[in-house]
A and B are shown apart, each in its own frame.
Chain A
């Protein structure tokens, strides 16, 4: 029932699918995996000059002809091209080949291509092996012609040895759950969820904070169009709250993940919120109760805490909403701060929305695909001590400035100096604050959107504070997007001063609390000391702190800086190496809003494909038990990370049995089994040993 096969229609398939374990065991007994003597075709790719430029391809070809089991050898300029694949196709048919070796690029790039070609030639696609002579040879030994030629010969020999022992394998087709999950409800997550829902897919949208909206909801205007961020975001937030197919879970985190593409079981921890929504109240039998966002509870609450949304520049109570536009409009109790005095419960009265004894709840949902959109945080710029953030009152970050210039912010949209509340007359913007920093303190990468939002800030100052002079200290202005460079010219014309030079140091005048910004003006080639009222640091961005935990739950890799790693930066920018898990937005690397939304739409499209298809093929790299060799010791059962293995009684003996749907093919069991009783499809012990022997014993001179 699980091995339901619709795709492959040949009779061969049906004959072989019944009992793979037994079949393998039989093959194991007679090590030559085929009844027929192996006859392998070797196809060497020039890849233009990528490969041919660094090695002697005719020599490799002549060498391949001398190898055992080789029935045909050919080369072609571009093996992956249509004519190249036709060469393979024809050779299989003409020479009755039993296996194919292509010596070309990495199997991580073109294995699927050549498997298809092998299949079109009439062979099982898994009778294909690739010798990587580009990424791991010609490109890394560009000036060692002889060395790379020898290495290519060895690589072909190793691949042929494995190809001779390869077997027919049949991917298992599994159904895909018609639901998706999006982790993180910033603009990326919201867009992805809206797209998925619009495509008719039930979508769980998980957000760790009490409201959706993310970073974009903290912004005032967006460059270069100067759209009001809230004006374009709030309708989306409302749509998310209203969409029938979106199950919004705010103040919730992913706790555990099990399963695989098509069938992820994700456990969500709903953090104790202490406040019931109207729907929750109804299920608990409180008629007409639940939080309606009236805010009566907030006034009597005696606990005052800094408001995270306002970057700590405004107070909130222990029972709070962060700003008036929150979605869902639902209060939250900060149980780390709450003293459980009960005044809010009294104020809430008949609505009975508040439960001071609330506990975390866990729910498990089944989804077919997942999109991670966990966003970014601001680099703790106080680590760059020379700029005095947190030492000098009038040094602030751009995100703080964004709140100060936002009409809904703590100052009603008119920025003031934190030290005295005066209106600033001269403001310095320090770009690349912690970005493009190779000192080891900051981040080596460009944070990508700081140039543009600082230009926007300069514009807003000129607009809002007549007579105020913005001064931008920059290394380069990176205005790469559509209409960005034009925006840069406009800001230059408006009277903003630009000084090209990284700020070396900032000192405070203790009396006036003004700041002296020291830099080298690299255009005038002289040091400058500029006195300003306010300094705004365009701090670098970094992944959210809990991104690392989340990515490990889903088995997604990251770069050295912690950004999540895509499967391929150009060919699969939204996918990851875990099938069924996709990336959207800044969690993958710094992006501005247009790029974030574009990537979210890409991820939503990619994540909807398996769901609309209804089924996926899993690579058939399962473990199988060679029962006559199994002693039933059970060591493998404990090693399996997916509980795919179990001991069962068969014919009076205890042997191991594999649940194929759970097995992901890592081979950890096969690497340990003391009796050699586990056959890992496509990475079987005899196949690997044949590769080792081929390298070390098989000719080579």
Chain B
């Protein structure tokens, strides 16, 4: 009696748990970052009496009255007037006389309606609420008037700028406060010092405080009292005010030179302190860039490590798989923008990653079934055939999408973490590093701890024996290749966050991906990680050393040559496959 047994390929409990954990962690990662770093909406209310009279003063046709109103607003320092003043600067502050005859000072906003008409919204200068709407094309009815408020004198412009800057120190948006402080510091006008000090006492954000201190101390360097100057220099050294560095240096080298010796000593001390901090910062920056590039190379190489390292299939279309992943993200983003309300626009990334995985996996599966499966064991032929496929895919993308498209990262990803002054670690890159780590963990666990992984390893090590034992080698092959391609899709999705998406993106990454896998040692996951990190760090260290416009290119070139030489000396890579099997010759 024959007992029929077949080894079924089912995702065991561990695999499902892992899938769920991965998705959840990706979601949490994204959401958490968003919660911490996103900006809230902006509102402003004014409870002051006489608010509208100040606005009337601003709108006056008499320059003197305008200037008085401006100066008053500067003195009271109420940020409620900030929108109005900004509108005055931008040219959107208007006087509106409506049908009832009353004149109001409002802010306008130009829109384009869905049906193509141009309209003008009339907004409350304090709340931003809509008071009315007009058609841009239509003429105003009789008795109504809409006039722009302009500055009537040169001095008025100057005063307005000063007032605006003063108020901007209290703007709700962090970036505005920072840049204002820096501008004031560089402008050199000592009269803003009291405003700066006041802003400092009310400021809570770490970096804005830093910018304000930098600015005020930079201004104090001009004080007549040498003690004040000395204290300012010392303080600049303490807080590592890099923006003041050139100013400090100028005091020692150009006219007018700093007269007092003690102050000069303090200035030199500050310069030394700041410069050593700068070099420390650049080391951190380079390390981060190196890790970031390394993580990108790793993600790119991971899929290849599976298809080439594990299965021995040379897939020259791997770059195009990445391209497909990137384009999936693009298409999803477009769809979200078109069909969903703005509040959901940024969530496209959560769908883009799984979608890229699935789509690219499907393409990989198709490729395996139609081309690769006939060429197992014939690596050179696979190389050629997949190159043909890559040309095919590339041209299809070019045909359908055109030559240049770009994917915009979600808004909450657009800036970065700032552990040090002036050193911005972009969130997109942090996200990619996180993604790489998750992918590494996932793949490792999948292949070493799950049943599916065991089947894959069995088939790739000894196909005939696996078939004898009852494993469907065809299925395992297809799914392994699809998985490797799907990982490439994820890589493409990640790449789309930091660079443009065009049909050429595959070609520019394929050579490097292969280098990463081959240098690391074919068949070992650890090798791929190490080689990706090493190549990434090397690249980033070399770039500033070579310098100049060609720094990046020459760095890449140098790394390529190094890799070629390395492979000639040690062709099996960093972590070579060992053992008797490796010695069985041709």
Mutual binders A and B: no
